[in-house]
Amino acid sequence: KKFAIVNRETCIACGACAAAAPDIFDYDEEGLSYVMLDDNQGTVEIPEELLDDLEDAFEGCPSESIKVLETPFNGNPNKEA
């Protein structure tokens, strides 16, 4: 199981993540990313078929703002494993 969330405090709106994973991430009007599946709460499991895209986005984020854990974030991007 994988859960994902964007740390919107550190996202620099670079625009890479939704290019890599368009079914997971979208941008708000300021260009800051969020996880579409759960309004960036990190509570909805990322579907199996999107895990490769998630990995690409995770590795491609220049500010390491995409967080991935095996347990839900419950809205807290600073949550540790």
Within a 13 Å sphere around the CA of 20, how many CA atoms are in the beta-carbon half? 18
Degrees to nearest 5, angle at CA 28 with 34 and 65: 35
| Contact predicate 42/16, CB 8 Å | no
In angstroms, give the least distance from the CB of 66 to ligand F3S.
Answer: 5
Residue 71 in the binding site for ligand F3S (CB under 6 A): no
Q: Which two tokens stand for residue 78?
A: 């600073």
Q: Cβ closer to ligand F3S: 62 or 70?
A: 62
Find the binder of ligand F3S among 42, 58, 61, 77 (CB under 6 A). 61
Q: Cβ closer to ligand F3S: 33 or 46?
A: 33
Binding site for ligand F3S (CB under 6 A): 6, 11-17, 33, 61-63, 65-66
